[in-house]
Structure 1
Amino acid sequence: MINMGEKFSRELPVDLSTILRKLLRGEISLEEAERRLLALNIRRIRDLARLDPGRNCRTGVPEVVFAEGKDPRTVAEAAAALAKENGYALVTRLSPPQLAELKKRLGRKFELEINTLARAAVIKRRGHVFPQQGKVGILAAGTADVPVAEEAALAARVMGCQVLKAYDVGVAGIHRLFEPLQRMVEEGVSALVVVAGMEGTLPSIVSSLVDVPVI
């Protein structure tokens, strides 16, 4: 008996145009075309990872390589595959060995933007430009919160957002919050990201002062 999963794998078209031609000729149904398109978007990295480069088109949020717990080679291969497909890849929670592997394997082929404070990196095809499609404000309560805020800023930027940042604006010195928050509102931010560990009341205070979503 033929396993249907194996049969589908053998019959899977190698590119988008083949699927569309089959659909136009009536050889496959709309539902079958959708199923094959979804499967076509999955990219395997050896037997360790399956990437979804089409996620950004479906959801508006790109696939991110979460590096923590992965071996350096897998991280580098996943980042390279995404950057080749989408023009860029965001890699988060990088360890020093993983970062060294990224530089070694991808440094000559791609542009690398490394944020050591955020433990993150953006790998881009040369000349890739991120679209500008909104503004996000990012606030950090204290200096211990800055690494998380920097990671959020990097993620927002690769999603096409202009980022406005203000750090060390916690409730212990609440007077420091109002000027940067006013500036962000005047600049027309669509949302605010508030990072607060020990000063956990900051998000509630910010949300009471603005009429945009607070994360």
Structure 2
Amino acid sequence: MEEKELLELLEAVKKGETNVQDAVLKLRQAPFEDMGFARPDTHRGLRQGAAEVIFGQGKTPEQNLMIAEKLLEKGQKSVLITRMSQEAANYFTDNKKKEIEFTYDSYCKIGIAGEQIDPEKGVGKIVIATGGTSDIPVAEEAGKTAEIMGNKVVRLYDVGVAGIHRLLEKHAMDEIMSANVIIAIAGMEGALASVVGGLADCPVIAVPTSVGYGASFGGLSALLSMLNSCASGVSVVNIDNGFGAGYLASMINKK
């Protein structure tokens, strides 16, 4: 149950549209569902303001489907599935209940079951900037995460330090200076986060990616650069963790 639904239930009791016993019964529903192989958190939306998300990697296609259907059955409007393989997405499409809407983006490996994203309904502004085109899969994971949580997302892709004038042109700077929070995503040496952090007056969430040649050590070089940023107001999430950045940005944007 989400906060809005709780308020509606209490209002219904107040107006006499629902009796106290029925309301208590609904509130007593277990805060998680024990499925044997998983225990999806059905009260997370009420407790934290953002509903349960499925990390698809490492789960079987059947498990992804069963967990998603259970969450929808318990009243969750939309279910975000991250790191979802094409195989799992195909299985989901072929075996889901007919009434469940489902979309899949193979580029960022994001699946969405249930109510779909309407970017026009987003609030505030989260700007996502990438160093290069190769960072876009991580950026889209962040963007879709933020959007499904009700945020407006503006994308500035391929504005890295190898051509810094792309970041400094008027349109990009206008977006940066009017953002509530910025997600800076880069591989290689990860310098974009420091540059953006030195320009913006809002929190910057840095996401190192595993993009780069051998000495980038699968994103470790970018991670260490971002952790050692001299720009104030820069925080760092794990390598390729677009989901974590999008979630954190949503929490900041909605305060």
Alignment check: 8 A CA contact 1:113 1:123 kept: yes
Task: Find the counterpart in structure 2 of residue 12 from structure 1.
Answer: none
Counterpart position of 1:69: 58
Tell me: CA distance 1:163–1:125, structure 2 relative to 1, closer, same or farther (3 Å).
Answer: closer
Partners in 1 of 2:115 and 2:147 — Cα distance?
A: 16
- 1:125 is displaced (CA, Å) by 4.1
User: Does the alignment pair 1:160 with 2:155?
Assistant: no
**How many residues are aligned here?**
182
Shift of 1:189: 2.3
Aligned to 1:134, the other structure's residue is in SS state strand
User: Which residue number corresponds to residue 78 of structure 2?
Assistant: 88
CA–CA separation in structure 2 for the residues paired with 1:155 and 1:176: 26
Q: Does 1:172 align with 2:154?
A: no
Measured after TM superposition, the shift of residue 166 of structure 1 is: 1.1
The percentage of aligned residue pairs carrying the same residue is 33
Match of 1:55 in 2: 44
Closer, same or farther: CA 136–115 of 1 in aligned 2, 3 Å:
same
| Partners of 1:40 and 1:97 in 2: CA distance | 32
* Aligned with 1:146 (options 136, 140, 146): 136
Matching of residue 201 in structure 1 with residue 191 in structure 2: yes
Taking structure 1 as the reference length, the TM-score comes to: 0.75
**Residues 71 and 98 of structure 1 are in contact (CA less than 8 Å); yes or no, is this contact kept in structure 2?**
yes
Partner SS state of residue 45, structure 2:
helix
Larger Rg: 1
2:108 aligns to what?
Answer: 118
Structure 1, unpaired ranges of 5+: 1-16, 23-35
Give me the whole-angstrom Cα distance separating, in 2, the residues matched to 1:90 and 1:66: 9
What displacement does 1:148 show?
A: 0.3
* Structure 2 Cα separation of the partners of residues 93 and 53 of structure 1: 21
Runs ≥4 residues deviating over 4 A? 17-22, 128-131
Give yes or no for contact 2:81–2:111 (8 Å, CA) kept in 1.
Answer: yes
TM, length-normalised to structure 2: 0.64
Unaligned runs of 5+ in 2: 1-19, 206-255
**1:133 partner letter:** V
